[in-house]
Homo-oligomer: A and B are copies of this chain.
Amino acid sequence: MRIVVLAGGIGGARFLQGVRAWAENRPGTPEITAIVNTADDVTLHGLRICTDLDSVMYTLGGGHDEDRGWGRVGETWAVKDELAEYGAEPTWFGLGDKDIATHLVRTRMLDAGYRLSAVTEALCARWKPGVRLLPMTDDRVETHVVLADELDPDAGGAGVRRRAVHFQEWWVRYRAGLKADRFVQVGVEDAKPAPGVLEAIAAADLILFAPSNPVVSIDTILAVPGIKAALAAAPAKVVGVSPIIGGAPVRGMAEKCLPVVGVEVSAAGVGAHYGARAYGGLLDGWLVDTTDAGAVLFGADVRAVPLWMTDPPTTAHIVAEAAAIAGLPRD
């Protein structure tokens, strides 16, 4: 059983815990490949930080902070405090000491010429996530947020200005509180899927969209040239899991992103955004929460089950339902 999951960070990580738990209880040796969003990646203090890859790696490797929801368990903050003492900007990003070690190893390897996919494999040699983690691309792609026009503070109230900030700045520093005009995936047009991505999609028995942020996680993966076409041509069924339950995101702040791209914050809205494969979209199946049982996606098999990922066994039940939509046995 070869399973491919398109995933963002924390929500993707929790979903993958369920995929792994479900697959482990099935006959045969499962091969799970996660194609992870890298457009949230950012370079701060000279360190290359891959938030989504790290969230997945730490979570599946058992090194994540379950209570805080992100980063490493038992994390300390000595370096961050010291950087602030030097006045080194930015200070708004939560750069923990343990986390920094990951970024140091990664940055050093990237500087030495290794590709991000090779670096990720090397880091996973320690974490043993039980899932093959592939960055969506080895090329540098970064989501920037073009903000809505603001009054220009330098123009005496007379002019307007437009500026763009890195997604992390918009998300972490401003808590998505600045009005966004649009998202731009800088570099994505020239990006190539990382080695193994297209092959994994082509060879999959089941392809899942994790309930990650549709706009800045899943859509950025889909924006890498070649990935959409590979999904369209894939023999496996493609089943999405809604990140919206009853009009609010399962976690994160997807409700801040969907309106920017004109998508309704609802299970039906996100389903329509992905579209049914039968009608030129991506999905064969769409799994929504029981709250959203009335959601419709013409051309796709829509089913409703409880979607709260409270723990890996519960999440495994969600995955079992997604598998069932794809015509696979639940267990």
Which A residues lie at the B interface, using CB under 8 A?
A: 45-47, 76, 78-79, 81-83, 85-88, 97-98, 100-102, 104-105, 107-108, 111, 123, 126
Instruction: Let me know if B76 and A108 touch, CB within 8 A.
Output: no
| Identical copies in the complex | 2
What's the minimum C-beta distance from A227 to chain B, rounded to whole angstroms? 30
What's the minimum C-beta distance from A30 to chain B, rounded to whole angstroms? 27
What's the minimum C-beta distance from A320 to chain B, rounded to whole angstroms? 35
Given contacts A76-B76, A76-B97, A87-B126, contact A82 B107 (CB under 8 A): no
Picked from B85, B108, B123, B126, the residue with its CB within 8 Å of the CB of A45 is B108
- Taking chain A's interface residues, is the majority helix, strand, or loop, or is none over half, making it mixed? helix
Kindly state the separation between the CA atoms of A78 and B45 in the bound complex, as whole angstroms: 18
Kindly state the separation between the CA atoms of A100 and B104 in the bound complex, as whole angstroms: 11
Q: Which residues of B contact A85 (CB under 8 A)?
A: 101, 126
Instruction: Let me know if B123 and A97 touch, CB within 8 A.
Output: no
Instruction: Let me know if B78 and A108 touch, CB within 8 A.
Output: no
What's the minimum C-beta distance from A49 to chain B, rounded to whole angstroms? 13
What's the minimum C-beta distance from A28 to chain B, rounded to whole angstroms? 32
Q: Which residues of B contact A86 (CB under 8 A)?
A: 101-102, 105, 123, 126
Kindly state the separation between the CA atoms of A261 and B281 in the bound complex, as whole angstroms: 76
